[in-house]
Every structure is written in structure tokens, then in C-alpha cells.
Amino acid sequence: MKKIIIATKNKGKAKDFEALFGPLGYEVLTLHDVADDMDVEETGTTFEENALLKATALANRLQTMVIADDSGLEIDALDGRPGIYSARYAGEEKSDEANIDKVLEELKDIKESERTARFVCAIAVVSPTSEPFTVRGTCEGVIASERKGTNGFGYDPIFFVPSENKMMAELTAEEKGAISHRGNALQLLAANLDNLVGKA
């Protein structure tokens, strides 16, 4: 089976990637499988820079092609926050629950029509034999005032997707992949994925 290595430790993200890559015939491996000790500091100022930092560190170590995803939630009423700080918005312990609580508190006086937001996902592809590059996907939505749904991860329980009339956390991984920022970014890669990975 063809393998794709993703420089992530986020199990929710890995599940999203499995739903996206599985049907294309790929087995998904993550940092937990190939370099459990690795922890790359996300010092970039954009999603793209951070995705490149994570992918480059692992590609250098393994000397093979890897991809990384840096993603987050941009809320218009918060001037784009939490943005690249989405994972650690409520503190370094990276708690999805605390992050959601913080966002809901900050938006408590904001009316629904002004709660627009988008998920952003930058995927970096880095290989020892070709130039690194990134693609970006987005997904527009509205921040709800309370949690609903148990699928997905991160901010999915408060992210309402108008096109589906559901919260992101109410979608199956497959349904999410069809409309999500991650799915949209991957669409841009899919055409030349086999060329990038080889047929191994």
C-alpha cells in the first residue's frame, strides 16, 4: 500500500487525513508512527510558514517526502484571531475545551450576523528531491453560541457550516472532507499526488 507521512501529532487531524487519503489508496502515518520524539516549534507568522517548518524538519530527518498541515480558525469579529494561535489559544496545554470556552466568552455580546469565520488550512509538501511548496484551503462558517455535535476535533462543535445546515462536529469525517478547509487544500494536491509520492 502507498504510504503518506504527515508531520502531525494531532489525532483529530490525522483522522481527517485518513478519510481523505484512504479512498485514494494511501495509508496515513503520523509523527506518532515515525518520529514520536519530534516537536517542532511553530515560530512562523503565517500558516504556510509553520506548515513548511513542520514538514521540513521531518523530511530532513527521514530523507523522504512528507506533508504537514498548519491550520486554524479566523474569526472576523476578533480581527482574525485565534488564527495561527488556534491550537494554544487558551494556553500552552492546548485544550480544545478551553479554547472553545475562550472563543464563546469573547463572542458573547456579538450578534449572529457578525459571527462569521473561516477555517484555514495550509498544507506543505517537502521532499529531498523537489522544491517545497504549499497549498491553502478555506471553509466559511459562523460561530454558534453553544456546542453541538461530537465528531471531528478542535473548534468543530461551535463551527456552523451554512452549506450543510449543520455544525462541523455533526458531519462524518467523509462529509467534512468534502467541504472542509483540509479537503479543499487536498483537492489542490490530489491531481499530482501519485507523482509526488511515487508508486511505492
Ligand X SMILES: O=P(O)(O)OP(=O)(O)OP(=O)(O)OC[C@H]1O[C@@H](n2cnc3c(O)ncnc32)[C@H](O)[C@@H]1O
The binding site for ligand X (CB under 6 A) comprises 8-10, 13, 42, 69-73, 86-87, 99, 119, 152-156, 180, 182
Encode 156-165: b = buried (16+ Cβ within 10 Å), e = exposed: bbbbbbeeee
Q: Angle 11-21/181-190 helices, nearest 10 degrees?
A: 40
Is 119 a known ligand-binding residue? no
Smallest separation, CB 136 to Mg ion (Å): 17
8 binds, among ligand X, Mg ion, none (CB under 5 to 8 A by kind): ligand X
Residue nearest ligand X, Cβ-based: 154
**159 among the known binding-site residues?**
no
Of the two residues 64 and 151, which places its CB atom closer to ligand X in the complex? 151
CB of 192 to ligand X, least distance (A): 23
How far apart, in whole angstroms, are the C-alpha atoms of residue 51 and residue 41?
11
Residue type, 46: T
* Closest to 177 measured CA to CA, from 13, 6, 9: 13
Taking CB under 5 A as the rule, which mask of x and - marks residues 77-96 in contact with Mg ion? Answer: ----------x---------
Would the annotation count 182 as a binding residue?
yes
**Across the chain, how many H-helices and E-strands are there?**
7, 7
What gap in Å lies between CA 158 and CA 64, rounded to an integer?
Answer: 37
Nearer to ligand X, 5 or 152 (CB): 152
**Residue 59 gets which letter from DSSP?**
H
Closest separation in Å from C-beta 199 to ligand X: 27
Could you list the active site residues?
70
Binding residues for Mg(2+), as ranges, are 41, 70
